[in-house]
Amino acid sequence: MKLPHMAHVAIVDGEHFTVMQNKGQPFEPKLEGAQKPDLTATNFSAGVKHQDDMGQRTNSTDLNELAHGAAAAEWLNAKAIAGELTDVLVIADPKTLGEMRRHYHTELQKRLVGEIDKTVTGEPTSKIEQVIAAA
């Protein structure tokens, strides 16, 4: 994947949210400046429509995790609207990514350079850079 120089990379799952920036070249990402924004998950109705039949029967859909994904999208929306983000790549597990997409503002959508549906939270930076390069 071609990741523009200075693009922001949001790495999200149901519990963690990290934002880094590409200081490398478009086809050789070098992520730096990890920051972990403090999120307040307030949208607990976020995942109600997201539940599938199996999740409803087994009660395996964790609304806290989906609310965290919605909060991450809201944080990215605010930064995009304020003009603090120009190019954004979102990497999230499939369920979180699906929930986040429901909350993207049009300003954030304009700035998205891509999405990767993979869980990479907790992975070393070098592994995340490889995932981006291979996408």
Domains and CATH numbers, the chain: 8-134 (3.30.420)
**The pLDDT value given to residue 38:** 86
**The pLDDT value given to residue 41:** 64
Tokens 């990497």 locate to 91
Could you give the C-alpha distances from 86 to 80, 82, 83, 98, 108, in angstroms and in order? 7, 10, 7, 22, 9
Number of H-type helices and E-type strands within the chain: 5, 5
Which residues of the chain fall below pLDDT 50? 46-47, 50, 54, 58
Measured between alpha carbons, how far is 25 from 127 in angstroms, rounded to an integer? Answer: 17
Residue 44 three-state SS: coil
**The pLDDT value given to residue 43:** 55
> What pLDDT, in 10s, does the model give residues 42-66?
655 544 554 555 455 545 556 678 8
**The pLDDT value given to residue 35:** 93
Question: Phi and psi dihedrals of 98, rounded to 5?
Answer: -60, -40
Element (H, E) at 8: strand 8-12
Q: Are 29 and 108 in contact (CB under 8 A)?
A: no
**The pLDDT value given to residue 57:** 52
* Stated pTM of the model: 0.85
**The pLDDT value given to residue 84:** 96
Tokens 């999230």 locate to 92
Residue 15 three-state SS: coil
Pairing between strand 88-92 and 8-12?
parallel
